[in-house]
Amino acid sequence: MSQSEDPATRPTVRLRPKAEARAIRHGFPWVYADELVTDRRTKAIAPGTIATLEDGERRPLATVTVNPNSKIIARVMSRDAEAVIDRNWLTVKLARALEMRVRLFDAPFYRLVHAEADGLPGVIIDRFGDAAVIQPNAAWSEVMIADLEAALAEVTGVTTIIKNGAGRARNLEGLDEEMVTLRGGIDAPVEVPMNGAIYLADLMGGQKTGLFYDQRPNHAFAARLAEGARVLDVFSHVGGFALAALAGGAQSALSVDASASALELASKGAEAMGASARFATRQGDAFDTLDALGQEDERFDLVICDPPAFAPAKPALQAGLRAYERIARMAAPLVEPGGYLVLCSCSHAADLSQFRAACTRGIGKAGRSAQLIHTGYAGPDHPMLPQLAESGYLKSLFFRLD
């Protein structure tokens, strides 16, 4: 379904009189449900409908997409209240996103669209050579998925497009979970070259889109610390830090993850690199495995812990910070004196200062002292919208321990 309605005939929604229109004018992309006049007409708008947003004095403010089922009831598509949101509009956005990635990366393996920061609210698109995975996490992108697919194929030339309709973000939008091939097909994991390593991404059955591109610069920094080192990569997924460390000359790398299928892909990646003899895996709960390694008196020159979001939203913040502190406390004793500990968070609810404080407490409680030598963020294919703190979610702290 294409949304190419005449702006003059589409629905209008209005901010409450006391709602702050200035934030929208200055680039903030969301309107929360308690900021909008939600009368019977507004509540009846179908999720994903394009509408005109007015300020409290009924002056046109922006073109938005509306979802009465979401706490984020409106997302700004354009600050032009006359914008027409159709396939051509999508093509322009995708072409702009592609132009920057082509400048930055030698091979077509990257995040092509990072939601609001690339002007496509709620949409994630990761590219894997001739294949791409779309996560349509906002209702409008579900409504316009056919246009999005066609525009993506036109702009990039990819021959396989997969829709990954799973995850917490879709649940918050009231959308069903669905995994479907929209174009072409794929029957095996895709080899992804990155930082001198080779990763295998399962585009149909893996976590998220199959690979986490956001840690690319942090993998590279860790690889600089890995030459000749014994490396432990906890919450490894398909071998993120471990394979990069092997490419950087690590003596050995041990990947720990709860998923047997992810570790199998990590092993196949090591094999593709010719590094199988230096690579090992250990399946199990991360906390249990850290405890077991401590009991076994194991020590490593470089330890990385890259867990899933312990604080995905504000209600989970305090529990999440305690979990990050616990990870640091358990991991620090496994680091050789003079070795390195890398602690990561993808929780946007925990800001950098809170995360750093939790990690520092954990290291201190383990009886270790540390230098913070580097703070890493997501790569440039994950741009941040300055007005939206949530778009800058990733933090990676590199410590050198006594």
DSSP of 8-31, one letter per residue? TTS-EEEB-TTS-HHHHHTT--EE
| Percentage with pLDDT > 70 across the chain | 99
Greater confidence (216 vs 19) lies with 216
pLDDT at 166: 86
Question: For 76-104, how does the pLDDT look when each residue is reduced to its tens digit (9 = 90+)?
Answer: 999 999 999 999 999 999 999 999 999 99
Q: Do residues 280 and 253 make contact, with C-beta atoms less than 8 angstroms apart? A: yes
Contact yes or no for 14/36 (Cβ under 8 A): yes
Q: What is the pLDDT of residue 5?
A: 64
pLDDT tens per residue across span 65-83? 999 999 999 999 999 999 9
Catalytic residue among 305, 344, 346, 359: 346
Crossing angle between the packed helical segments 260-272 and 240-247, to the nearest 10 degrees: 20
| pLDDT(43) > 90 | yes
Question: Are 352 and 375 contacting, i.e. CB atoms less than 8 angstroms apart?
Answer: yes
pTM score, whole prediction: 0.94
pLDDT at position 3 over 60: no
Separation between Cα atoms, residue 299 and residue 281, nearest integer Å: 16
Q: Which two tokens stand for residue 113?
A: 């669209």
> Does residue 323 register a pLDDT over 90?
yes
CB 136 within 8 A of CB 147: no
Helix-strand-coil percent breakdown of the chain, rounded to 5? Answer: 35, 30, 35
Tell whether the model's pLDDT for residue 4 goes beyond 70.
Answer: no
User: What are the angstrom distances between the C-alpha of 24 and each of 30, 80, 173, 289?
Assistant: 8, 11, 21, 47
Q: Which domains does the chain have, with CATH numbers?
A: 12-78 (2.30.130.10), 87-183 (3.30.750.80), 191-401 (3.40.50.150)
Minimal CA–CA distance to 388: which of 31, 130, 15?
A: 31
Phi–psi pair at 27, nearest 5 degrees = 110, 0
Instruction: Tell me the C-alpha distance between 356 and 71, whole Å.
Output: 30
- The region of weakest confidence among 170-179, 293-302, 370-379 is 170-179
> How many Å apart are CA 113 and CA 161, to the nearest integer?
14
d(CA 381, CA 124): 11
Q: What mean pLDDT do residues 256-276 have? A: 97
Q: Is 344 a catalytic residue?
A: no
Helices (H), 157-215: 168-172
Tell me: pLDDT of 21 over 90. no
**pLDDT given at position 2:** 45
pLDDT tens profile 329-387: 999 999 999 999 999 999 989 999 999 999 999 999 999 999 999 999 999 999 999 99
Q: Indicate whether 1 pLDDT > 80.
A: no
Residue 280 banded pLDDT, cuts 50, 70, 90: very high
- What value does the mean pLDDT of the chain take? 95
229 vs 245: CA distance, rounded Å: 9
Higher pLDDT, 170 or 337: 337
